Structure 1
Amino acid sequence: MPTPPAGSPRLSAKQQRAADREAKLAEFRRQEARRKRNRRIAIGSGIVAIVAVVGLLVAAFVLAPKPATYSAGGSGAEIDGVETFDNASAHVQGAVDYPQTPPTGGEHNPVWLNCGVYTEPVPNENAVHSLEHGAVWVTYDPSLADAELEALRAKLPSTYVILSPFDGLPSPIVLSGWNTQLQVDDADDARIAEFLEEYWKSDLVPEPGALCTGGVDAPGRA
């Protein structure tokens, strides 16, 4: 029991118990107030952290590069430099000797190449089958600078396109559709987007609307 200060009237046992209860209650209230304050601080910090994370995710989504978009089919627009050919469509086994580099059509493997980005050369015979389905095959010289390659990728749609290196190209970048082809010197050429707008998912291919997935992958699929 606490000793009362000198000169203070001595408390009775009942009064002392009441004083002790009051002291304990006051201490409990102080501790409870401290706990509530700490909870508020913790909740506030958690909300700030959640808002920061959400903000980062939103910023990442907004700032992330988006695939370019094009309208399926073409309008018959004439694009300077585009060559057209007259290759027939037929399924064959084995290697094919194509008249164009890269091929733009002709005999091809019965299984198409899955569209996407490849870091190694892909089989001509499978890629040509993808052209038959309306895909565009974008090939580049293996020595193309990384910055140029990134600029080229930024112009490509997310589907129905094959991007791959190709040895012995007639120009640094070549875009091929079914029986159509465009050669350009760099990724800044405005005709790249024009070619894709005209020939991507063209309805003038032998098998318009056929899948560009569910076929085979080649080595180097990114």
Structure 2
Amino acid sequence: MSKTAGSRVQREAERRARRARRKRFRKLRRYILAVGVSALGLLIIVGLVIPSLPSPERSVRDSGHGPGTVVDDLGRGHFPLGSPAPAGYYNSVPPTSGTHAPGWTRCGLHSEQIADEIQVHNLEHGFVLMQYNPNDLLIRDNLVGIAEQLPGWPNYYVVAPNSAIEKPIALTAWARTQFLDTVDENVIRAFAEAYRGLGPELGAPGCEPGNAMESR
């Protein structure tokens, strides 16, 4: 083989080697990019999900400490489907424990008052209810603004009017109440973060957030 032919063969071999290296590099780059995107997606999902989960180690039933006032636990049970709670059955207004309806209401914002026996079922699953006097729209708007900034909102939260409460705002969790004359963000946040997810029955029902002030 002549020197010219040999050089041509060598150059062709070098070109093939360079093309092969570029191809391997492109495949490696695509792989690294895919892994990076997947990792970023996982981090985003974790960042969204973790704040919405309650801490399983805490239990509102195990300690008398924490925000609010302890209310005697009336136990748990279900009224027959469609049967309301008897008048005067619950030991607080709003109620915090006791026999309740088989069904529960969705989380988030409501524009209509929620029946006592339904409230208790949500509390049993670890919900925190924030209820306001329906005659004070400023209180309502301020309360909603704070609620929407709580960790994990709207999971495990309900905001609704209640014409039966004697104070402008009533916060309830299982066997726990707190009443407010004004909107106090620090108190509301402390109560919500202390008792969210701490009902006696683990695992909240499904939560489909509704539109602002829309009742199910």
Query: Which residue of structure 1 lines up, in the alignment, with residue 144 of structure 2?
Result: 153
Query: Which residue of structure 1 lines up, in the alignment, with residue 203 of structure 2?
Result: 209
The superposition leaves residues 48-79 of structure 1 with CA deviations (integer Å, 9 ceiling, x where unpaired) of xxxxxxxxxxxxxxxxxxxxx67724486944
Query: Which residue of structure 2 lines up, in the alignment, with residue 95 of structure 1?
Result: 84
Q: Matched residues in 2 for 1:220 and 1:169: separation? A: 21
Q: Matched residues in 1 for 2:194 and 2:187: separation? A: 10
Query: Which residue of structure 2 lines up, in the alignment, with residue 165 of structure 1?
Result: 161
> Residues 82 and 209 of structure 1: is their aligned pair in 2 closer, same or farther, counting only changes over 3 Å?
same
| Runs of 5+ unmatched residues, structure 2 | 1-50, 148-152
Percent identity (aligned): 29
**1:181 partner SS:** strand
Contact 2:155–2:207 (8 Å) recurs in 1? no
Contact 1:102–1:169 (8 Å) recurs in 2? yes
Map residues 118-197 of structure 1 onto 2, 5 A cutoff: 118-146=110-138, 148-156=139-147, 157-197=153-193
Runs (4 or more) in structure 1 with deviation over 3 Å come to: 73-81
Structure 1 letter corresponding to 2:205 = L
| Runs of 5+ unmatched residues, structure 1 | 1-68
Contact 1:135–1:212 (8 Å) recurs in 2? no
Contact 1:89–1:105 (8 Å) recurs in 2? yes
Please identify the structure whose Cα radius of gyration is greater: 1
Structure 2 letter corresponding to 1:164 = A
Q: Matched residues in 2 for 1:193 and 1:70: separation? A: 15
Contact 2:172–2:178 (8 Å) recurs in 1? yes
> Residues 85 and 189 of structure 1: is their aligned pair in 2 closer, same or farther, counting only changes over 3 Å?
farther
> Residues 102 and 133 of structure 1: is their aligned pair in 2 closer, same or farther, counting only changes over 3 Å?
same
Aligned length: 147
> Residues 199 and 168 of structure 1: is their aligned pair in 2 closer, same or farther, counting only changes over 3 Å?
same
Q: Matched residues in 1 for 2:75 and 2:123: separation? A: 12
Q: Matched residues in 2 for 1:106 and 1:163: separation? A: 21
TM-score (norm 2): 0.60
The superposition leaves residues 172-217 of structure 1 with CA deviations (integer Å, 9 ceiling, x where unpaired) of 1001011111111111252111101100111xx2212231438xxx
Q: Matched residues in 2 for 1:70 and 1:210: separation? A: 11
Structure 2 letter corresponding to 1:150 = D
C-alpha deviation, 1:80, in angstroms: 5.2
Q: Matched residues in 1 for 2:206 and 2:126: separation? A: 8
Contact 1:130–1:212 (8 Å) recurs in 2? no
